[in-house]
Amino acid sequence: MVYLLDNLESAGLVTRRPDPADRRVRQVLITDKGTMTLGEARELLGVAEATLPGSGQRQKIVDNKAK
């Protein structure tokens, strides 16, 4: 897990800071760049999912659950 966070931090997508309530803990926070990147990834995933067979049925299920 640490190496994944190292890579995300190196890319500027997250930051780590000490937890003020517990010195043993580090908080992982998403940066503005991380939030933007996550939004872009979600859009691309939506486009990719829309091209999959049966994606219309999946959307109907998602829409019904939202009601």
- Higher pLDDT among residues 36 and 56, named by residue: 36
Rounded to whole angstroms, the Cα distance separating 19 from 16 reads 9
Q: What domain range is 46 assigned to? A: 2-66
Instruction: Work out the mean pLDDT of the chain and round it to a whole number.
Output: 89
- Higher pLDDT among residues 1 and 30, named by residue: 30
Given CA atoms 47, 51, 53, 54 in this order, what sign does their dihedral have? positive
The tally of domains found in the chain comes to 1
pLDDT at residue 62, rounded to an integer? 66
Amino acid letter at 15? T
What separation in angstroms does the CA of 58 have from each of 13, 29, 43? 30, 32, 17
Which CATH number do you get for residue 47? 1.10.10.10
Q: What is the pTM of this model?
A: 0.68
* pLDDT over 90 (residue 64): no
Q: Are 1 and 14 in contact (CB under 8 A)?
A: no
* pLDDT over 70 (residue 67): no
Q: What percent of the chain has pLDDT over 70?
A: 85
Q: Are 12 and 31 in contact (CB under 8 A)?
A: yes
